[in-house]
Amino acid sequence: MNAIDREQAVCAQNYAPLPIMLSHGEGVWLTDTAGVRRLDMMSGYSAVSLGHGHPRILKVLSEQARKLAVTSRAFHTEPLGPFLAKLCAVSGQEMALPMNTGAEAVETAIKAARRWGHRVKRIPDGAAEIIVAAGNFHGRTTTIVGFSSEESYRDGFGPFAPGFVTVPFGDEAAIADAITPNTAAILIEPIQGEAGIVVPPPGYLRALRALCDRHNVLLILDEVQSGLGRTGRWFAHQHEGIRADGLIVGKALGGGVYPVSAFLASRAVMSLFEPGSHGSTFGGNALAAAIGLEALIVIEEERLVERSAEQGAYMKARLEAMTGRLARSVRGLGLWVGVEIDPRVASAKALVKTLAAAGVLTKETHETVIRFAPPLTITRAELDWGLARCEAVFKEAAASGARAA
Contact indicator for 337, 197 with CB cutoff of 8 Å: yes
Tell me if residue 111 is catalytic: no
Contact indicator for 286, 78 with CB cutoff of 8 Å: yes
In the sheet with 183-188, reading across from the earlier edge strand, the strands are 95-99, 261-265, 246-249, 218-222, 183-188, 129-133, 164-167
Return d(Cα 34, Cα 78) in angstroms, integer.
43
* Residues β-bridged to residue 24: 31
Tell me if residue 83 is catalytic: no
Taking each helix axis from N to C end, the angle separating 380-404 and 304-323, rounded to the nearest 10 degrees, works out to 20
Please name the amino acid found at residue 393: V
Question: Residues 121, 251, 316, 363: which is the catalytic one?
Answer: 251
**Cα angle: 121, vertex 127, 133; to 5 degrees:** 90
Residue 358, exposed/middle/buried by CB under 10 A (0-12, 13-18, 19+)? Answer: middle
Return d(Cα 365, Cα 348) in angstroms, integer.
8
Return d(Cα 102, Cα 18) in angstroms, integer.
24
In the sheet with 327-332, reading across from the earlier edge strand, the strands are 327-332, 337-341, 369-372, 363-365
Contact indicator for 105, 111 with CB cutoff of 8 Å: no
Please name the amino acid found at residue 151: E
Question: Residues 137, 273, 282, 394: which is the catalytic one?
Answer: 137
Question: Residues 86, 222, 245, 316: which is the catalytic one?
Answer: 222
Element (H, E) at 317: helix 304-323
Tell me if residue 137 is catalytic: yes
Active site residues per annotation: 137, 222, 251
